[in-house]
Structure 1
Amino acid sequence: MAGLDVSAMWPDLFIELDDRHRANVRDVFATEYLTGWEPDRAAVAEVIELERGRIALSDYMKRNAARIASVPPST
C-alpha cells in the first residue's frame, strides 16, 4: 500500500480488528489519500465502526454528509 497508513497513525483504533478488517480500513484511506484527502482520527474511527458492524451504512453516510456540509469551501 502506498501513501497514508492510518493504522500506523492511530494504532489504538485498530486493536480489536483482525487482519482482514484492518486491511479493509487501511485500503479505504490509502485510496482516499491518493485523491488528496487526509483523514482525521474521527473519520478513521467511523470507518472502523462501519467495518465492525457497529453502525449502519446509512448512518455512516449521514455522518459523512454532515461532516462535508460543515467544512468551509476552499478559496
Structure 2
Amino acid sequence: MAAEFDIDTRWPELFARLDETTRIHVINTFASSWHEGWIPNREDVENLTDYARGAIDKDEYDRRAAGAAERHRAHAIAS
C-alpha cells in the first residue's frame, strides 16, 4: 500500500471540475478501499469523478466498472 493517499494530487485534472463537497465525497469513497489495500488507478478515479460531476449516468458508470473488472480479472488469470 502506498504511504500516502493522494488521488486528488496525482490526478488533479480529474478533480478540477468538482465542487469542494463533491471532491471530498469522491476522495472519501476511495479512502476506505485504500485502507484495505486498493492501489489507486486512474481509470477507477476517472470513472467516479465523471459520474460525480454528471458527465456520465449510472448505467455508463456501471458499464465502465464492469469492463474494468473484467480486464483486471483477465489480467490476473493470465499472470
Which TM-score tier does this pair reach, normalised by the shorter chain? 0.7 to 0.9
* Count of aligned pairs: 73
1:8 offset after TM fit, Å? 1.7
Question: How big is each residue's C-alpha offset from its partner over 1:26-54, in whole Å with a ceiling of 9 and x where there is no partner?
Answer: 01111111221112112111111100111
Mean CA deviation greater in 48-57 or 34-43: 34-43
| Alpha-carbon separation, structure 2, partners of 1:38 and 1:28 | 13
Mean CA deviation greater in 9-18 or 48-57: 9-18
Q: Gaps (5+ residues) in structure 1?
A: none
RMSD of aligned alpha carbons: 1.7
Q: What aligned pairs does 1:37-56 form with structure 2 within 5 A after superposition?
A: 37-56=38-57
1:73 offset after TM fit, Å? 2.3
Q: Which amino acid aligns with 1:73?
A: A
Say yes or no: does 1:73 pair with 2:76. Answer: yes
Q: What aligned pairs does 1:1-75 form with structure 2 within 5 A after superposition?
A: 4-71=5-72, 72-73=75-76
Higher helix share: 2
Q: Gaps (5+ residues) in structure 2?
A: none
